[in-house]
Amino acid sequence: MPRLLRAALPAWLRRMLRPAPIPVDWSRIGVAALAVGLPPAVGLATGGIGEAILISLGALCVAFSDPVSSYRYRLRRVGLTVLLGAVGFGLGIAAPSPWTGACVVVIISVLSVLASRMGDLWGAAGAQMLTFCIVATGHPVETMHDGQQLAWFLGGELLAFTLIAATWPFRRTAPARHAVARVFETAARMLNTESEETRTEVRQQLTRALNEAHDVLISVAAGSTARSRVHDRLYVALSQATPMVEASVALAHAGTRVPDPPMETMRTLARCLRSGALPPPYTSTTASTDPTPLRALDHALGRLVASLRTAKLADPGELDTGRDRRARFRVWREGLAVGRTGWLLAARMALCLAVAETIGLLLPLEQPYWVALTVALVLKPNSGSLFARTVLRGIGSVLGVIVASALLAGIAHGWWMLPFTVLLAALVPDTLSRHYGLFTGVVTCLVLLKMNQVESIPALPAVRLVDSLIGCVVVLVVGYVLSPLHRRPPLERGFADAVLTVSEYVSLSLTGMARERPALRRRSYRELAELRTTLRQRLVEPSSASRTAEQWWPSIVVLERLVDGATEHAIRIEGGNTGISLQRAQLIVSNMRSLARWLRCETSENATPSPTCVSERLSEIENELTSSSWPRPEDASPGRETARPAAERVTASSRSGTRNPVTPPSSNGVSTVNPPYGVRR
């Protein structure tokens, strides 16, 4: 059956329907079950079902924004959501009339989109501000005045926030950290195994660990268009783990014993990847008489440690520790850039919500606010392909309505419905991270059950389905087909523009010119963020470019690391350090501009550049920039080698069955235009 589905469904549709392969986070599930599912039980026992529903609604606002991430990041994100969610709900219930409420919603929608350009924290909180502003305008509680409604809603938010804070003993880092760290742990366990039969089994586990880490990074971490430096460092580790894996497989196949220092380094790397700590410098322990696979493993570990240390030390937070508050504030302010795309997103959101609110007010709909709510949830910024979210929203609404109708028809209201409400509430955070269609189905069913506890309306599921489908049609017609954001240029052309912009920034940074550098850095990050958005959209849309879209992802990561490395050089130069030679800087910039010209030439002649070639060339340029760095005292280690000789590459990956997570085989044709110097076919 799975083979039949793979043959029948196109690749973009399979990507759209495939849930993200992430571990279950039980702490988030427990918080949602207690904060969202149990207040109705208290309401049934005390007779205050209206207050209980408002508490549950406030907790649901926080549950929508609770990410799969570290404990500290979760607290920051849900804390901001508590504040902005309460603001949005308060403005919604304060609207004196439906038309005034519609105007408030449109204004809040613009602020929500602009907030998303300030980063992931503000984007998530702004989205909940808009969502619950719409809910408040469409579903007021007539038995309570506005202040009481806001107080109970805020109480639900604070309840969920308190429960999240109480999960400190069960805190966990992001699943992506565990997935990448598991690669190093499994490789070390394979090298430490004596039995050949057990070694073969562990090697198969290593293959699964590599594939799982790749899927998690692509499916989950790549799901956010906001810049994630943690994700970038994990991608560095996974991409440069391939030579280590190849050498490890060759050593295990030959039965060669690996000395203790490399083994301990692999375990240390796994621990550092889990915790986010800086790995210690690596000292080479091999000699020229050692076997070639052992020297290849040593070189691979040295290069990997050096890359992780460079990526970690290139973070603005690490580089600016010696600067005063005014300088750090200036760096933060430079990162606030709305850009043309940001204003277009805001205009699209405002237009679609204006159309949805008008339809809801003019047509005789039972719950008209559901139309606008569907539009707001689908158009939420930093959430990937609009086409995919609209389709999945429709599918999820149908499934949710079917399940809710069956439960409402077969189970008595009141206490008998409570276990199902708690179960659905517990599924909200897991499906939120796993699959948008499943999440929509769970939330639709949960909302219908909760509304039925307040007021029994037999046709409520059908009403919800009709309103949701109307909202999906508004998004597809006004927000997708008629939007100028839908008519995107070819991915290669946008990538060429980004390479050229980054080359200009690298040129200014390496030559110590500070006047125009901040503006160009903002522009570089903005173009790369828009490339991420385009890439995610291509992965799940019915277009010819979806087949090779994933292969462009490593190149975007390398470009962002080039911007980080250039920023590091610029900050060091401002601090009085001597920069690299002018000749070497010109060579780096010239290679980047040559690559951009080649990409434009390929695109203009309707050819298809190989993403693998582009990724390899950018990696070479990054290595050139990294090797130009000054020696740091903490990096100094005698006898250390940072480059692995080409003659010592081990080709054991074919025996291990692992796939290269950075440069997967290209499925597209090779262009006929000669590439620039250094770009290999």
- pLDDT at residue 385 greater than cutoff 70: yes
Confidence of residue 317 (pLDDT cuts 50, 70, 90): very low
Examine the domain organization and report whether 240 and 288 are in the same domain: yes
Confidence of residue 155 (pLDDT cuts 50, 70, 90): very high
Report if residue 7 sits inside a domain.
no
Examine the domain organization and report whether 460 and 495 are in the same domain: no
Report if residue 650 sits inside a domain.
no
Examine the domain organization and report whether 284 and 347 are in the same domain: no
**Token pair 């080409």 is at which residue?**
646
Report if residue 673 sits inside a domain.
no
Examine the domain organization and report whether 438 and 546 are in the same domain: no
Dump pLDDT digits (tens) for 204-256: 888 888 877 877 776 554 444 344 566 667 777 887 787 888 888 888 877 78
Examine the domain organization and report whether 394 and 496 are in the same domain: no
Question: Which residue among 437, 452, 481 closes a domain?
Answer: 481
Dump pLDDT digits (tens) for 584-628: 888 888 988 888 888 888 766 666 677 888 888 888 888 888 765
Dump pLDDT digits (tens) for 3-20: 665 666 766 677 777 777
Dump pLDDT digits (tens) for 527-561: 887 787 777 767 666 665 556 667 787 888 888 87
- pLDDT at residue 33 greater than cutoff 80: yes
pLDDT, residue 444, reads: 92
Question: Which residue among 481, 500, 521 closes a domain?
Answer: 481
pLDDT, residue 645, reads: 33
Examine the domain organization and report whether 397 and 343 are in the same domain: yes
d(CA 664, CA 548): 10
| Domains in the chain, number | 3
Q: Could you please report the per-residue DSSP string of 485-537? A: TTSPPPHHHHHHHHHHHHHHHHHHHHTT--SSHHHHHHHHHHHHHHHHHHHHH
Examine the domain organization and report whether 454 and 536 are in the same domain: no
Q: Could you please report the per-residue DSSP string of 332-370? A: HHHT---HHHHHHHHHHHHHHHHHHHHHHHHS--SSTHH
Q: Which two tokens stand for residue 442?
A: 């769970």
CB 39 within 8 A of CB 454: no
Range of weakest confidence among 385-389, 450-454, 515-519: 515-519
Q: Identify which has the larger pLDDT, 329 or 449.
A: 449
Examine the domain organization and report whether 476 and 608 are in the same domain: no
Tell me what percent of the residues of the chain surpass a pLDDT of 90: 17
pLDDT, residue 646, reads: 30
Examine the domain organization and report whether 470 and 601 are in the same domain: no
Which residue range forms the structural domain that includes residue 585? 490-641
Examine the domain organization and report whether 181 and 249 are in the same domain: yes
Q: Which of 438, 439, 344 is nearest to 116 (CA)?
A: 344
Examine the domain organization and report whether 143 and 252 are in the same domain: no
Tell me what percent of the residues of the chain surpass a pLDDT of 70: 74
Range of weakest confidence among 14-28, 98-112, 543-557: 543-557
Range of weakest confidence among 85-94, 435-444, 582-591: 582-591
Q: Which of 166, 141, 163 is nearest to 151 (CA)?
A: 141
Dump pLDDT digits (tens) for 39-74: 888 888 888 888 888 999 999 999 988 876 667 778
Amino acid at 256: T
**Mean pLDDT, residues 324-338 taken together:** 56
Distant-in-sequence, close-in-space partners of 44: CB < 8 Å, separation ≥ 6: 52, 414, 415, 418, 453
Distant-in-sequence, close-in-space partners of 498: CB < 8 Å, separation ≥ 6: 524, 527, 528, 531, 556, 559
d(CA 511, CA 281): 29
Report if residue 434 sits inside a domain.
yes
3-state secondary structure 57-99: HHHHHHHCCCCCCCHHHHHHHHHHHHHHHHHHHHHHHHCCCHH
Which CA distances in Å does 601 have to 314, 538, 594, 597, 607?
Answer: 33, 22, 11, 6, 8
Examine the domain organization and report whether 393 and 289 are in the same domain: no
Report if residue 555 sits inside a domain.
yes
d(CA 360, CA 53): 24
Report if residue 326 sits inside a domain.
no
Report if residue 660 sits inside a domain.
no
Which CA distances in Å does 286 have to 260, 261, 267, 290, 678?
Answer: 12, 10, 18, 6, 31
CB 20 within 8 A of CB 219: yes
